Structures are given as C-alpha cells and as structure tokens.
Amino acid sequence: MSGEEEEPKAKPNLLKPLRREAWSTASDGVDAVSVSDGNPLAGAGTAITDGAWESPDAAAFVTDLTGIGSTVRTAFVDAETHLESEYTSEPDTVMVPGPQEWKADGGAIAGRVP
C-alpha cells in the first residue's frame, strides 16, 4: 500500500470503559461519605451535641464541623459529576487513523492517563 493513505476504520474506544470505572469509583465515594444524613461528620456532631464533649465552644465546633462535612461531600459529588461528564462525552468508537486513534491503543492510553 505504498503511497496510499489507509482508509479510516472505526475501532473500539478503550478509554471509555476506563472513564466508566472512574465514574463508578467516584459514585461509590459519594455513597461512602453520604452516611449520617449526607454529611460524613454528622455523627461526630451529634455525639458532641449529645454531651460527648462539654465545653462552651462545643456548639461553635459542631457548626464548623458540619460545614467541613458539607464541603467534603460537595467535593465528592463534584468529582462524580465531572467524571460522569467525561464518560458520557467519550464516543464508543474512534477512527483509526485519526486524531483520537490513541484511544484505540491500550499502550497509548497507559502513557497518557495516570
């Protein structure tokens, strides 16, 4: 085939299932930090409020703790949302040769994706 260009062919996008796996892992993380009414630190706050720590600063500490817990959960939800978007934006196939042909090569993906 000397001098002729190779006819592009659709090949499976090997990056797409990796994106799905990352999204699934992030979703599991959201579930893990969503215990105790969706705030991963709510249990500690409840214990303090119920008398586990008696101090004039306890109420303010629980308020701060609740805010931190909300921030942690938000970070996990944001990561899940981002990874879902990355997954859904990936085509099922890529054209080889073509600008996204590296996505059809597992070795090339390993060199690009940490």
Q: What is the 3-state secondary structure (H, E, C) of 43-111?
A: HHHHHHHHHHCCCCCHHHHHHHHHHHHHHHHHHHHHHHHHHHHHHHHCCCEEEECCCCHHHHCHHHHHH
* pLDDT higher than 90, residue 27: yes
pTM value > 0.75: yes
* pLDDT higher than 80, residue 45: yes
More reliable by pLDDT, 107 or 111: 107
Domain with 66 in it: 12-112
Give the C-alpha separation, 100 to 12, whole Å.
11
Q: Is residue 7 part of a domain?
A: no
User: CA dihedral in degrees (99, 104, 110, 111; nearest 10)?
Assistant: -30
Residue 2's pLDDT band, with cuts at 50, 70 and 90, is low
Q: Is residue 83 part of a domain?
A: yes
Structurally, the chain folds into a number of domains equal to 1
Percentage of the chain with pLDDT > 90?
82
Pair 111, 58: CB distance under 8 Å: no
